Chains A and B, each alone.
Chain A
Amino acid sequence: QVQLVESGGGVVQPGRSLRLSCAASGFTFSDYPIHWVRQPQGKGLEWVAVISHDGTIKNYGDSVKGRISISRDNSRNTVSLQMISLRPEDTGVYYCAKDGLDYSGLDVWGQGTTVTVSS
């Protein structure tokens, strides 16, 4: 079935780096943009980043621009999110999500991976 599985979360000190991964299966991965969305504990969803189907176009949310880089490997059906200079406010659950195309929303989501930035 169509599935996204995130990994790479954990506890990290402020200022350090972390790399999250999203593994896809059950669909033609190279046809779809992939997004990252995060949810701080007790707060709402925040859109983080998107990468186009072929990896040539990337966009980032204002709060993470300059500290986050998104990439993909269509041969391995994976998307990565490299985060540097982490701050406590980056703490939360990070979801990857598949774009449904034609502005139909994010139609498949992973279960999320938790990032905790704390000393």
Chain B
Amino acid sequence: IVVTQSPGTLSLSPGERATLSCRANQSIGSKYLVWYQHKPGQAPRVLIYHASTRATGIPDRFSGSGSGTDFSLTISRLEPEDSAVYYCQQFAGSPWTFGQGTKVEIK
């Protein structure tokens, strides 16, 4: 299963809304999609699993939606600490592929 993320880079100001896209080349339902945040020098962390369930401790400005082949991650009001690369990963079938990532830059 190939997972494609867009855009490659998103440059926005604090307080703005960010919408990241993740598309699979075949249907993966709604349970098998996870979003991660990855900052330099840190381990990735789970933001959203089952496409729309926030992981423990994740602020409610992060939300996920979608099913089938099209998914999105929304950051409703960007904060400076949200600067990172965001990845989606599918768990519908092996190999458990990642998208290529979307870099979010805060102006």
Residues on A lying within 8 angstroms of B by beta carbon are 35, 37, 44-47, 50, 59-62, 95, 97, 100, 103-107, 109-112
> Quick check: A103 and B87 within 8 Å, CB to CB?
no
Report if B39 contacts A (CB, 8 A): no
Would you give the 0/1 interface string for B62-103, flagging 1 where the beta carbon is closer than 8 Å to chain A? 000000000000000000000001010101001111111100
Contact of A44 among B50, B53, B55, B98 (CB under 8 A): B98
B55 touches A105 (CB 8 A): yes
New contact pairs (4) apart from A47-B96, A61-B95, CB-CB < 8 Å: A44-B99, A60-B95, A105-B49, A107-B46
Q: Could you tell me how many residues of chain B have their Cβ less than 8 Å away from some Cβ of chain A?
A: 25
A95/B31 contact (C-beta < 8 A), A45-B87, A47-B98, A103-B49 known: no
B18 CB, nearest partner CB in chain A, Å? 18
Q: Would you give the 0/1 interface string for B27-53, flagging 1 where the beta carbon is closer than 8 Å to chain A? A: 000011010101000011110011001
Distance A106 CA – B45 CA, assembled complex (angstroms): 8
Q: Which residues of B contact A (CB under 8 A)?
A: 31-32, 34, 36, 38, 43-46, 49-50, 53, 55, 85, 87, 89, 91, 94-101
Cross-chain contact A106 with B55 (CB below 8 angstroms): no
Give the chain A neighbours of B100 by CB distance below 8 A.
44
Once the chains are docked, how many angstroms separate the CA of A59 from the CA of B87?
A: 21
The residues of A that contact B36 with a CB separation of less than 8 Å are 45, 105-106
Contact of A104 with B98 at beta-carbon distance under 8 Å, contacts A45-B87, A47-B89, A95-B43 already known: no
Partner among A44, A59, A110 whose Cβ is within 8 Å of the Cβ of B95: A59
